[in-house]
């Protein structure tokens, strides 16, 4: 079964708007696990505009499912991940000013850097996933860098899905098959929702994990968190 990892960044955004601890990020993460999520994802950024570095430290000892930390492997991020030692680190080429991730790595261009940082995380026993576009060449170079998995950037799939789902999924199937052929695990994330997730899973049942935040938290405002997680898990069966 494909695992659902809930990205709780948006919960931290709401908390930070008022400066106190409501909603409590740790409590929400534990509730997500209790309601059936098989993982928790956070993406701490340098300005701490949502998840803070202390949140990452607070979450690690209490989570019972897989902990995935995403981010640009700059020195401060690398240091944090090596201290916390999550199950997985996802390397994302975010610029500081980006609102959200909007592209994958050029793994061929950055092969030396990605190989070096992947080795550091492997020395701590941390699984490494590299965030890439749905391009078989980028998947291949991620494998050469030593990655255990790739995460496909799925915003283009979500955007094109209403105009023709077969055409929208095609490059992702090609990239996913390439990952399988190279022995890489496969994650997917970004703009996946109750509208488009089931079809992606139908066409790519070998996906190891989907990481979903924005749409899931928005749905929870209407459906409640427990019901929302139940519906997302239903898309993955």
Q: What is the pLDDT of residues 55-72, one digit of tens each?
A: 999 999 999 999 999 999
Could you tell me if 45 and 69 are in contact, meaning their C-beta atoms sit under 8 angstroms apart?
A: no
- In the chain, the percentage of residues whose pLDDT exceeds 70 is 97
Burial class (CB in 10 A: 0-12, 13-18, 19+), 54: exposed
Q: What contacts 98, CB < 8 A, 6 or more positions away?
A: none
H or E element: which one contains 70?
strand 66-71
CA 233 to chain centre: 16
The answer to whether the Cα torsion of 166, 168, 170, 176 is positive or negative is: negative
pLDDT band at 94 (very low <50, low <70, confident <90, very high): confident
**Mean per-residue pLDDT for 137-142?**
98
Which positions are catalytic? Answer: 43, 70, 190
* Contact yes or no for 128/122 (Cβ under 8 A): yes
What angle is formed at CA 235 by the lines to CA 231 and CA 237, rounded to 5 degrees?
Answer: 115
Kindly state the average pLDDT of the residues 85-108. Answer: 83
Task: Give yes or no for a cis peptide into 126 (omega within 30° of 0).
Answer: no
Which three-class secondary structure state does DSSP give residue 58?
helix
Mean pLDDT within 156-182? 98
On whether the CB atoms of residues 141 and 107 are closer than 8 A, the answer is yes
Quick: pLDDT tens for 171-210: 999 999 999 999 999 999 999 999 999 999 999 999 999 9
């Amino acid at each position: 079964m494909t695992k659902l990892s809930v990205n709780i960044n948006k919960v931290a955004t709401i908390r930070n708007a008022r400066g106190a601890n409501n909603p409590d990020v740790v409590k929400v993460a534990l509730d997500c696990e209790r309601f059936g999520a098989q993982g928790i994802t956070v993406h701490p950024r340098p300005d701490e505009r949502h998840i803070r570095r202390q949140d990452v430290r607070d979450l690690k000892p209490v989570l019972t499912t897989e902990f995935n930390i995403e981010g640009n492997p700059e020195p401060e991020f690398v240091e944090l991940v090596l201290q916390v030692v999550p199950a997985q680190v996802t390397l994302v080429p975010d610029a500081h000013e980006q609102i959200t991730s909007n592209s994958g790595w050029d793994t061929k261009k950055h092969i030396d850097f990605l190989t070096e940082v992947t080795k550091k995380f492997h020395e701590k026993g941390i699984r490494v996933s590299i965030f890439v576009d749905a391009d078989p060449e980028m998947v291949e170079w991620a494998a050469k860098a030593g990655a255990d998995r790739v995460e496909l950037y799925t915003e283009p799939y979500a955007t094109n899905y209403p105009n023709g789902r077969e055409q929208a999924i095609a490059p992702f199937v090609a990239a996913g098959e390439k990952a399988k052929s190279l022995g890489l695990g496969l994650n997917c994330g970004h703009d996946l929702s109750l509208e488009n997730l089931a079809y992606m899973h139908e066409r790519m049942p070998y996906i190891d994990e989907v990481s979903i935040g924005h749409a899931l938290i928005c749905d929870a405002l209407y459906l409640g968190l427990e019901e929302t997680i139940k519906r997302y898990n239903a898309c993955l069966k």
